[in-house]
Amino acid sequence: MPWDKKEKVNPADYTIENISNEEVGRLPGTINGQQFIIQNCQSSKIYLFDFINTITVDDCSDCVIFIGPTTGSVFLRDCQDCVVMAACGQFRTRDCCKMDIFLLCQTQPIIEASAKMRFGCFQASYPQLKDHFKGAGLSIFNNNWSNIHDFTPVEGETNWSCSSQSDALEQAFKLPETEELKSVELMLGTETSVVPFTLGSPMYGGQEATLVIFFFDETYQQKAMDFISSLKSKIQSCRIQHSREVKMEISDAQRVFQTSQYKSAISRGPIIALLCLGSGISEACSKIGQELNANAEDQVVYVTADSNTSNQQIDAFFSYASMTLSM
């Protein structure tokens, strides 16, 4: 299409501003990867059910805000007393206070000149959300929600905290009430979430831990989600500390696996890794892994063999994964 005949973008379609005590939003298919602005809103509920390029949220207070998968940055400025759920490539706040953030972030979240910030893991679903993650180019398995960098720390004070309680979101976040926005069928909670619920930092020290790696094929992401569901049915108290999706080089894979026998599997494409915790977790993961591999032509999953091997491979893998995600 010639440049002069391209459909012109109306900024008003991608802006929500100057509202008070309202419930507003955008339905799936109405943003389609455009930039978005939210500004000067008070005591309102705002839901963006689509994928977005970048978004800024300025001068908002006492609001509930849902931000669909965002390719680039979510930047909150001069906001207070808000509850925000967002999935994004980068996340940053400046001059914010008393915010509850439920987050999926591909890189390290940054706060600046902000205080009383509380973070939790993104937990949501609606029918189009998986497609919106694909549209934004985000992996549901790369979530640094708890790895916060405070750009302006204050000696003797803690400007942020993390909660790994799975019920924290349902206590803080409010669902839509208008018929139009209810029709999207937003659901909250770990059981239905498109994103795996992870504990995040701190690390797993002193607990029984197992590293599970899914090798690339057409359904490896679904296999990983099904694995988590199967594991929870066997060990209700099991927990996923971290999940990662990365492309490994052969040399890095050999360092993690301590053998070259997985060279072919690594060469197929990206892998997904789960750090699983809980009493009896090694045996349970091994049994599920054996079943998956028995029903496949090629090896689809790797499970660490014993606790000594697990600890070495976990440290080696997440050291490598942290470097790749920070690039």
CATH H-level, domain 209-325: superfamily: Nucleoside diphosphate kinase-like domain (3.30.70.141)
* pTM score, whole prediction: 0.93
The answer to whether residue 132 scores a pLDDT higher than 70 is: yes
The answer to whether residue 107 scores a pLDDT higher than 70 is: yes
Lowest mean pLDDT among 85-94, 121-130, 207-216: 207-216
Structural class in CATH, domain 3-188: mainly beta
pLDDT digits (tens, 9 = 90+) for 250-270: 888 888 888 888 888 999 999
Q: Strand 15-17 relative to strand 36-39: parallel, antiparallel, unpaired? A: parallel
Per-residue pLDDT, averaged over 185-194, amounts to 94
Short-list 263, 269, 274, 205, CA closest to 238: 274
Q: Is 279 annotated as a binding residue?
A: no
The answer to whether residue 120 scores a pLDDT higher than 90 is: yes
pLDDT digits (tens, 9 = 90+) for 5-36: 556 788 889 999 999 999 999 999 999 999 99
Measured in degrees and rounded to the nearest 5, phi and psi for residue 18 equal: 55, 45
Q: What percent of the chain has pLDDT over 90?
A: 74
The answer to whether residue 4 scores a pLDDT higher than 60 is: no
Q: Is 73 annotated as a binding residue?
A: yes
**Residue 266 in contact with residue 215, Cβ under 8 Å?**
yes
Alpha helices (runs of H) in 137-219, residue ranges in sequence order:
168-172, 179-182
Q: Where are the chain's structural domains?
A: 3-188, 209-325
Look at residue 204 in the predicted model and tell me its pLDDT: 63
